Structure formats: C-alpha cells, structure tokens
Amino acid sequence: MIRSAFGLSLLFGMGMMMIGCGDDGSTGDGGECDQGRVRCDGVCIDAIEPTLASIQTGVFNVSCAASACHDASMPQPLESPLDLSSLSASQAGLIGVASVQVPTLDRVEPGDSSASYLMNKILGDDDIIPLGFSQMPLGGMLCQPKIDVIEQWIDGGAPIQ
C-alpha cells in the first residue's frame, strides 16, 4: 500500500514537471523553425500572438489549465480560485482582478506587466512573491517566447482578440 502511494506520488510529480512548457510534440533539430513558428525548449511551436485568445490556446491550455492546477473542476489557489481553462474564465479571473497573494497588485494590470502579479509569478520574482508561494508553472518555467508574448500582451493593454 505504501509502495503504491509512493509510486503514484512519483508519477504525479513527474507529470507536473512535464507540463511546464506544453509543447505540441514536434521535434526540432536545433536549427531555425519554419515561418510562423518559434523555438520553445528545443522544439518548434506555432507562434503565439499577444492577445488573450492566442495566449489561451498556446500557453494556458497546455501549461496552466491542467488537472489540479487552474482547470475548471478545481482551480487553484483554493482561497480565490483562478480558472484558466477557457477564454472567458481567463478574462474574468485575470484582467483587473486583485491577486489574493499580493492584494496590492492585480493579477493582470493592463499596460503594465511589471505591476501584474501574473508576470511576477511567471518570472519567479522573489521580491514580489510571498514566502511560501511558488513560481508558475509548478515544476518549471515557461519557455522565453511564451514569457515574452505574455509580457507583450499585458504591456499592450491586455487585449482579448
């Protein structure tokens, strides 16, 4: 019984680590990507536009809205759930909504990525993230093109489309 629980814990932990970038499974040879694609953790993925709709598909759906993270069935954090499983849920839970962990910051402050808690959580800014809370996503960082497009989206006013 103990061995079984340990095995499940190990599998869950490994699965969470694999969620980090959420690439599309394509492989790359270390060279340039085809037009309209960018390199993300060694593979080519479709380029993501700086709109919430594109970020929803290219980042949140593959890296955040996983089971037991920010999905619709049990969104984290429990004290103020953040559901990132759909465009409407992400819009309602992010833009202009105060962070629970740092109430003086909105999760997304349109036009100002440095004042947006989401950006600070993705970057792992220890000066902003309270002790005992983690950088997101759990188990690893997003690749740089995904970080860059989220920053562009926020600094560009956080447009939906």
Domains in the chain: boundaries = 2-22+48-155
Give the residue-averaged pLDDT of 68-80: 69
Residue 20 has pLDDT above 90, yes or no: no
Is residue 55 within 8 A of residue 154, CB to CB? The reply is no
The reported pLDDT for the residue numbered 18 is 38
Is residue 56 within 8 A of residue 69, CB to CB? The reply is no
H helices of 20-102, where? Answer: 52-55, 87-94
pTM for this entry = 0.76
Residue 1 has pLDDT above 50, yes or no: no
The reported pLDDT for the residue numbered 17 is 37
Cis ω before 137 (30° cut-off from 0): yes
Contacts of 9 (CB under 8 A, 6+ apart): none
Query: What is the distance between the alpha carbons of residues 141 and 52, in angstroms, rounded to a whole number?
Result: 19
Residue 4 has pLDDT above 50, yes or no: no
**Which amino acid does the sequence have at 129?**
I
